Structure 1
Amino acid sequence: MSLQETTYTFESLPLRGVETGTNILVTGPALGGIRELTMRMLLRRHSREGTLFIAADVDGRETLSAYEALGGDLDFARVGVVDCTENGADDESCNVHAVGSPADLTGAGIEFSSLYERIHENGAARVRTGVYTLSPFVVYAPAKSVFRFVHTLTGRIRTADGLGVCAIDPDAVDDQTLSSIAQAFDGQVELREVDGQRAVRVRGLPDQPDGWQPVEFDAA
């Protein structure tokens, strides 16, 4: 098995590859570029990869449009969205499956499992899963339910040799909640902006650059 087959890589970001089965919590301000950072980490690197979004802040079609704008390949056999927004709607042509509310964690879990299996059956040997963001789930659902959902999600990704990238704005949740959620992940990528300059720092993952590394993109 080649290095490419045993790692997930992130082009155009100051991050080294991570092993399959890794779950990463991405933290940073909602308006500081965290959405684009998360999207870039989910870009498929070859045709044998799939990408699955769990969208709670923006609807499924908007999520796919943002992904495509960053260079994402919209092969709907291997790309799909679980739309958890309140105004979401099913769209089979774009492989969007709506749940109806961030409060419906059971429904989100069922749709995630179904789409994950379908993407694998369509030829994706491994899948990048992204959650943007966890914050609405924390607002709409009981804390214990959110913790259980996150642990189940990351467990499934780990077992399937996938990659999990889940974003959250630390200012939108209390410290205890953030700490509890973080326990489900192998490491964190922190994003900050100082004097108009964005940078990322990796915590908990092996063989990554030390300290803050500059990152450039056009996200607002």
Structure 2
Amino acid sequence: MATRHGSRYEFPGLPVESVDAGTNLLLTGPALGGTRELLLRLLLGEDGVLVITADTSARNVLEAFEGVGGRLDRERVRVVSCTQERADDLGEFVASVGSPGDLTGIGIEYSSQYEQVYARGYDTVRTGIYTLTPLLVYSEDVRPVFRFINTVTSRIRTADGLGVCAIDPSAHDERVVNSIAQPFDARVDVREREGALELRVTGMPDQPGEWTAVPALS
């Protein structure tokens, strides 16, 4: 299980070296190619967990988080859902926003949930966004999404948190992906090869720069 020691976040079981508190990672890979699994595994630990989901329901996110070994704890786990799917029975686990295009609403709910988790004693929070693609599709302009991401990553950096955001590069022009990547400290490319998940990291030293196998969940 991932843990945090001192000023660094660690990821046991994954071929990713520990990173400084305040680090933001951009995951790039196909939506159905293991990217969500890797994102959720990077969020594992005893820290607070916040997931903004834009293209799969909050229920699926929570089930998938449990599926990779996450512990569902109402004190520290929150989902901000903008998929328009009702999840009334999930109670305080979920805060809903009407549309992936409502970036202001997403930002407000994210800040509110972050403050609630922090108030419960979790001063380290891991944030995941899965994925940025619907936000870009609804916006039809990269600039508002860039400003939103810049605001979120700045908050994570200031609060000594960890940010992990995913995007499907095949769904966007390369210039859009490069623009979105600017606020992030490193890029983690994800792919499936012969049924196995692989990753490589660019933009950060002491990380696997070549394609490296990701151990399967035990």
Q: Quote the Cα distance in structure 1 between the aligned partners of 2:26 and 2:194.
A: 24
For residue 168 of structure 1, report the CA deviation from its aligned partner: 0.6
| 2:66 corresponds to | 68
Counterpart of 1:154? Answer: 153
Deviations 1:177-220 (A, max 9, x none): 100000010001111223333211011122213411111337xx
- After the TM superposition, which of the residue ranges 194-203 and 116-125 deviates more from structure 2? 194-203
Distance 1:209 1:68 in 2: 27
* Residues 18 and 144 (structure 1), Cα distance of their counterparts in 2 relative to 1, 3 Å cut: same
Question: Residue 83 of structure 1 contacts residue 89 of structure 1 at CA under 8 Å; is this kept in 2?
Answer: no
Match of 1:202 in 2: 201
Across the aligned residues of Structure 1 and Structure 2, the Cα RMSD in angstroms comes to 1.5
1: CA distance, partners of 2:30 / 2:40: 15
Aligned length: 213
Q: How does 1:179-194 map to 2 (within 5 A)?
A: 179-194=178-193
Percent identical pairs in the alignment equals 53
User: Residue type matched to 1:145 in 2?
Assistant: P
> Does the 8 Å contact 1:87/1:100 carry over to 2?
no
Structure 1 unpaired stretches of 5+: none
Matched with 1:41 is: 42
Question: Unpaired segments of 5 or more residues in structure 2?
Answer: none
Give the TM-score, by structure 2 length: 0.93
Map of 2:113 onto structure 1: 115
Determine the structure 2 residue equivalent to 1:172.
Answer: 171
Letter in structure 2 aligned against 1:180? S
TM-score by length of 1: 0.92
Question: Is 1:134 aligned to 2:135, yes or no?
Answer: no
CA contact (8 A) 1:61 1:94 kept: no
Deviates further, 180-189 or 90-99 = 90-99
Deviations 1:106-146, CA, capped at 9 Å, x for gaps: 00000000000110110102000000011100101132111
